[in-house]
Amino acid sequence: MSTVKEGLKLEKNKSEELAIFGGQPAFAEVLHVGRPNIGNRAKFAERVNDILDRRWLTNGGRYVREFEQRIAELVGVEHCVAMCNATVALEIAIRALGLTGEVIVPSFTFVATAHALQWQEITPVFCDVAPRNHTIDPRKIEQMITPRTTGIVAVHLWGGACDIDALSEIAARRGLKLLFDSAHAFGASYQGKMIGGFGDAEVFSFHATKFLNSLEGGAVVTNNAELAQKIRLMKNFGFSFYDHTEYVGTNGKMNEISAAMGLCNLESMNDFIDVNRRNYRQYREELSGLKGVSLLPYTEDERCNFQYVVLEIDTGETLITRDQLMEILHKENVLARRYFYPGCHQMEPYRSYFPHAGVLLPETEKLTRRVLCLPNGTAVGKEEIERICQILRFTLANKVEISEKLGP
């Protein structure tokens, strides 16, 4: 059933029809940027019943092992270690790689990337990003390296890849470990090779908001057998066998029901991507030519999950700020998100540790004021996208009047 409400006409010069000025919201139900995709429910229920019948709920059961195998085959790596979530996966991968001292990381990322380092008393050194694709800028990395630097944690964003070749060259030449936070990039490729097999290791997220979820979950993938074995031990308290530990470990295990959901969604993955691609192309068409609004393009000659619909808002053209546009959409029950505001360097404890970090992060600072992500996934369709874009077009067609009403 459509979530679009009837009656919103948005006639020119009648801005009072917008919900922010007292009109009825355009949508009866809230639209989220990342409302979970759900695969075959019957198959999921069948697997859950099997789990309950066998009473093997966790500790490396049948479905976790199958999930790991399927992921490894899909991305073309030798080893996959499923985890309870991607943050714990990052923390364990960082520890297993022996990272210490300082590690270079973008500030334009979800704060968990930085926290996974700081949690282990490793200093995240924030590097600026490239404006073209919002990922860490290899040209800026060299100036951030000090004698205490032991690694780089690069972040693939929006389903696209970092400049992996340049990052790999720097890491090899400077003797640094290279770990990729690939939370956004499952199912994507770089120069024809699937994301997952680059650097020393990569970390995927299967959180509920990702296009492919396992309810909650993550995984470390690598071609390094020794590293994979170490990670397997660390995510299970360090146990190598009964009553014997080899490392300081924690509880990072994925449970069987999460793995069952992950398997069901893997089986529907191509359908999810098809929906995302269709939605992205519709947004692109509907917003084409809208001054001050640019849609981040996808490189369609690579495999991509099309998970995020990313706008950059140029206030000089729109007169209405990104945050005002977001508020307008929120009042219409469209919960657009301003990823990754305000940037890790502006969050605590990093803001107190590095109060002047923004001086070296001009592109990051700019993006945190410009980026707006719109709803995507199987929860939105043609009608919803038409209405979202209608609201944006109407708002900008009446930008002078609306800007005056909104005030500074």
Structural tokens at position 318: 């729109």
Residue 366, pLDDT score? 98
Distance CA(131)–CA(141), nearest Å, equals: 15
Residue 6, pLDDT score? 52
Residue 15, pLDDT score? 82
Q: With residue 33 as reference, give the H or E element that holds it.
A: none
Residue 4, pLDDT score? 57
* Main-chain dihedrals φ then ψ at residue 401, nearest 5 degrees: -60, -45
Distance CA(197)–CA(204), nearest Å, equals: 12
Can you say whether residue 243 is alpha, beta or left, with left for phi > 0 and alpha for psi between -120 and 50 degrees? left
User: SS3 letters for 377-403?
Assistant: CCCCCHHHHHHHHHHHHHHHHCHHHHH
Distance CA(23)–CA(379), nearest Å, equals: 24
Residue 7, pLDDT score? 47
Answer for the pair 202, 195: CB distance below 8 angstroms, yes or no.
yes
Distance CA(102)–CA(109), nearest Å, equals: 18
Distance CA(176)–CA(166), nearest Å, equals: 13
Q: Which structural domains are found in the chain, ordered by start?
A: 15-32+269-406 (3.90.1150.10), 41-267 (3.40.640.10)
Q: Residue 140 CB: number of other CB atoms within 10 A?
A: 17
Answer for the pair 293, 313: CB distance below 8 angstroms, yes or no.
yes
User: Which of these, 258, 256, 254, lies nearest to 208 by C-alpha position?
Assistant: 258
Give the pLDDT means over successive 10-residue stretches in the chain (408 positions): 54 78 95 96 98 97 98 98 98 98 98 98 98 97 97 97 98 98 98 98 98 98 98 95 89 98 98 98 97 94 96 96 98 97 98 96 98 97 97 95 90
The alpha carbon of 14 is separated from its chain's Cα centroid by a whole number of angstroms, namely: 37
Q: Residue 69 CB: number of other CB atoms within 10 A?
A: 11
Who contacts 94 (Cβ-Cβ below 8 Å, separation ≥6)? 103, 116, 117, 120, 122, 153, 179
Answer for the pair 23, 391: CB distance below 8 angstroms, yes or no.
no
Residue 2, pLDDT score? 54
The alpha carbon of 364 is separated from its chain's Cα centroid by a whole number of angstroms, namely: 16
Tens-digit pLDDT profile for residues 315-369: 999 999 999 999 999 999 999 999 999 999 999 999 999 999 999 999 999 999 9
Distance CA(170)–CA(148), nearest Å, equals: 16
Answer for the pair 345, 107: CB distance below 8 angstroms, yes or no.
yes
Residue 180, pLDDT score? 98
| Residue showing tokens 């008393």 | 121
| Alpha carbon distances (Å) from 178 to 16, 75, 142, 203, 247 | 53, 18, 14, 12, 22
Q: What is the largest CA-CA distance in the chain?
A: 74
Q: Residue 60 CB: number of other CB atoms within 10 A?
A: 17
* Main-chain dihedrals φ then ψ at residue 193, nearest 5 degrees: -110, 135
Distance CA(286)–CA(122), nearest Å, equals: 45
Who contacts 299 (Cβ-Cβ below 8 Å, separation ≥6)? 160
Distance CA(126)–CA(103), nearest Å, equals: 9
